[in-house]
Amino acid sequence: MSSGEKPPGRPVPRPLSGGPVKFGPFVLEARLAVGGTAEVYIAHPIDPQAQPRRLVVKRLLPQFLSDPEGRTMFEREAALHAAVHDDNVVKVFGSGVVGDEPWLSMELIDGCDLFRLLRRTTTQGIALGAGLSAHIARAILGALESVHTARDANGAPMGIIHRDVTPSNVYLGTSGSPGR
């Protein structure tokens, strides 16, 4: 990367038409991404004392609101995040329902996803290097171990198998700390 060139980052948030929108205890500032079942927004809590001041709010897509299976998957994700405590797994601060719409509030990672990093290094002919590649792989495996061995509040195995391990779902923080 040449000096002065901006490093790869997260997708550019798209401001909401009409400006920020109140959604339950949050103000949604911009849409960050749309996945197969949910939309992800950069948001801030309405309560000025709430921390963190910026976070991510994930909402189930409208077509899944009346789908029991889609809602169950979303609720199971919330339960899983409550059970997993690992530096390499995004923290979930809370979950709830606004009207008929479930949501999760999660940590906003300052960095980029692995897909964007790999795309940038490939187009520039730069290799990540064995040490960095091993560090990333080890962090991913540690996170997966935490997810796959998660136990519920009663100590029973949750039986979760992460089925969406893709470079676009691996976020690399700029601080150098695992997952941050």
User: Any idea which residues carry the catalytic annotation?
Assistant: 164
Q: Which of these, 33, 27, 35, lies nearest to 14 by C-alpha position?
A: 33
Q: State both tokens at 77.
A: 């994700």
Q: Which of these, 110, 77, 70, 71, lies nearest to 92 by C-alpha position?
A: 77
CA dist 169 and 128 (Å) reads 18
42 close to 13: Cβ distance less than 8 angstroms? yes
CA dist 58 and 26 (Å) reads 11
